[in-house]
A and B are shown apart, each in its own frame.
Chain A
Amino acid sequence: MNKSARIKALLTGNRVDRVPHFPFILGFCAKNLGLPIATIYNDAEKSFDAQMKTFEQYGVDWGPIYGYASYGTWEFGGEVEMPSGNYQQAPAHKMFPVKSESDIDSITLPDVKTAGCLPIAMAFSKLQQSHGTPISVVLGGNFTIAGNICAVEKLCRWMLKSPESAHKIIRLATEHIIEIVRYWADTFGAENVIPQFWEPLAANLIISPRQFKQFVFPYLVETGERILAMGVRHILHHICADHNANLPYWAEVPMGDPGLCSFGEEIDIDKAIEFLGEKAVVIGNLDPSLLLTGQPEQITERCREIIEKGKKAPRGFMFSSGCEVSPETPGYHVYLMKKAIEEFGVYP
């Protein structure tokens, strides 16, 4: 099977020859090509090219993606800083558009054709289309975008002290997500778009499952329903970091047939399958810290454990890191992921 046939088979419920390799490799690709890491985020063409070449080298089956976890700050009128220096790996918040509750009522939905990184994201998706790779738009989840509009500390405080303000911000994020997906669906055809939502800020490192139920879950359900009603077939959720106590809610989120769920390394793949295996392709979840700092034999052993668990997922499995591979990761370690798929990921 070639890459394209393998992904198509996975999404249509047909047999695949081996576990596909799903990428969570952004800045690493820039370094691999000798480019500044910021290139991945500020130049659609170079970003796409760096990812394609790196994916060829490391046997990645899914196509290039464009996006970052601090999405929303720039688009709603704040500022982000592109990565520079020795220790930055992704765009970071510089100034949040909402600084106090009094700012909330004056903030409006941005123009999805011109705001922030969206013109670059659209140029990137046109490259995805012309190269025949999956067309995605990568955004934060509803709660994460909300946290990127006002700073997560404020959102957390408002959840308890001023829940109406928290809901207003999350509502803005929700309508923004819908407008973006509609723009992508109108441009490429809804059936061809696989939106990705990354939700690190709703992890149990930050909020409780009760708060997830109140402030995250209803918006995820509504967003899923509205996007699927447009004709989108699959939604990919990156359930980033420790969401173990939120999994019963994630299991109820509409995400297409099948949905796609990638998991942080904090969630055991057996548990991911237990909660979401019947409705989604499970994706995960090698610890990027281990990939960066571990010994080759440790990395291979962990790859084996994850792949062997993942192969039991009823709707399919893709092997990936649990979060972004650090740009400083030794290339040989990333190669070990490819090797592990070849060794342990072949279906009988």
Chain B
Amino acid sequence: MFSAKEKEDLLKKIHDSVVEFEEEVTADLCRQAVDSGIDAHDAIIGGLAEGMVTVGAMYERNEYFVPELLLCSDALYAGLDILRPHVRAGTEQVRGKIMIGVVEGDIHDIGKSLVKTMFEAAGWKVFDLGKDVKTDRFVSGVTQHDPDVIALSALMTTSMLAMPKIIEAVKAEKPGVIVMVGGAPLNHDIARRYGADSYADDAVSAVHEAARLFSNSVPD
């Protein structure tokens, strides 16, 4: 068994390996954590997720851009692949459930994938419907996954026109579900007019915004 200090040091190394996008190192360190008896959930939260918090802050400061985010994301998933099978039932704390997809007519999913990563790192259960997702699929996804938040992405001005119909349909299926939109042609004003609850202009702010809306929606 590791001492508390040794555990702290290892989690810090996992954090650093994510930030430095060292995919193999991250996987090795996570194996070491499992072998040493460190709780897998603690390693996810204290190592991998903390690493992505730092990555998000670096992105917001324009120190990291999409290439770095993609590689940090690779390191995160390499670590999660090792740790997740060892998470003990009942220890995983899920912040909320989010369903995400790129709307019909649009195949640009790099932004959506980064949003997915940041939500997973922040402890959300993510249901990714993929790209070019039709309204009916979003509606059936609501029935299937019962999400707290739905995030819709579009890169093209024409494809964003699919959003009002989707928002109306998912809210009819689950009144009270929080719908967020994002993507290059959107802004707060368009989001409001389309009936969305919020808009986020990048993956990091999307997580903050979803957490804010979700905590406001949950009765004390």
Residues of A whose CB lies within 8 Å of any CB of B are 27, 85-90, 92-93, 152-153, 156-157, 159-161, 204-208, 211, 241, 245, 288-289, 292-293, 323-324, 326-328
Contact B68 A293 (CB under 8 A): no
Alpha-carbon distance between A246 and B21 when the two chains are bound, in angstroms: 25
Contact B105 A85 (CB under 8 A): yes
Stretch at the interface among B38-46, B186-194, B204-212: B186-194
- 8 Å CB interface, B4-41 against A: 21
Instruction: Say whether B168 faces chain A, with CB atoms less than 8 Å apart.
Output: no
Instruction: Say whether B70 faces chain A, with CB atoms less than 8 Å apart.
Output: yes
Instruction: Say whether B57 faces chain A, with CB atoms less than 8 Å apart.
Output: no
Contact A205 B66 (CB under 8 A): yes
What distance in Å separates the Cβ of B112 from its nearest Cβ neighbour in chain A?
12
| Interface residue count on the B side (C-beta < 8 Å) | 29
Instruction: Say whether B87 faces chain A, with CB atoms less than 8 Å apart.
Output: no
Alpha-carbon distance between A241 and B113 when the two chains are bound, in angstroms: 20
Partner of B67, one of A88, A207, A245: A207
Contact A289 B66 (CB under 8 A): no
Residues of B whose CB lies within 8 Å of any CB of A are 21, 62, 65-68, 70-71, 74, 103-107, 110, 113, 156-162, 184-187, 190, 193
Alpha-carbon distance between A206 and B74 when the two chains are bound, in angstroms: 17
B163 and chain A: residue at smallest CB distance: A87
Could you list 23 A-B pairs, sorted by A, with CB under 8 Å? Answer: A87-B105, A87-B156, A87-B161, A87-B162, A88-B105, A89-B156, A93-B107, A156-B66, A157-B67, A157-B71, A160-B21, A160-B68, A160-B71, A205-B66, A205-B184, A207-B65, A208-B65, A211-B65, A289-B187, A289-B190, A292-B161, A327-B158, A328-B161
B158 and chain A: residue at smallest CB distance: A89
Contact B157 A153 (CB under 8 A): no
Contact B70 A293 (CB under 8 A): no
Contact B67 A328 (CB under 8 A): no
Alpha-carbon distance between A159 and B68 when the two chains are bound, in angstroms: 10
Contact A87 B66 (CB under 8 A): no
What distance in Å separates the Cβ of B26 from its nearest Cβ neighbour in chain A?
14
A89 and chain B: residue at smallest CB distance: B158
Given A87-B159, A93-B107, A208-B62, A156:B70 Cβ within 8 A: yes
B21 contact set on A, CB distance < 8 A: 160
A153 contact set on B, CB distance < 8 A: 70, 110, 113
What distance in Å separates the Cβ of A96 from its nearest Cβ neighbour in chain B?
12
What distance in Å separates the Cβ of A68 from its nearest Cβ neighbour in chain B?
12
What distance in Å separates the Cβ of A166 from its nearest Cβ neighbour in chain B?
10
Contact A86 B71 (CB under 8 A): no
A87 contact set on B, CB distance < 8 A: 103-106, 156, 158-159, 161-162
Contact A156 B67 (CB under 8 A): yes
A326 contact set on B, CB distance < 8 A: 156-158, 161
Given A288-B185, A289-B190, A326-B157, A159:B104 Cβ within 8 A: no
Given A160-B21, A241-B184, A289-B185, A207:B157 Cβ within 8 A: no
What distance in Å separates the Cβ of B39 from its nearest Cβ neighbour in chain A?
31
Partner of B107, one of A27, A92, A152, A161: A92
Contact A152 B110 (CB under 8 A): yes
Given A157-B71, A211-B65, A293:B193 Cβ within 8 A: yes
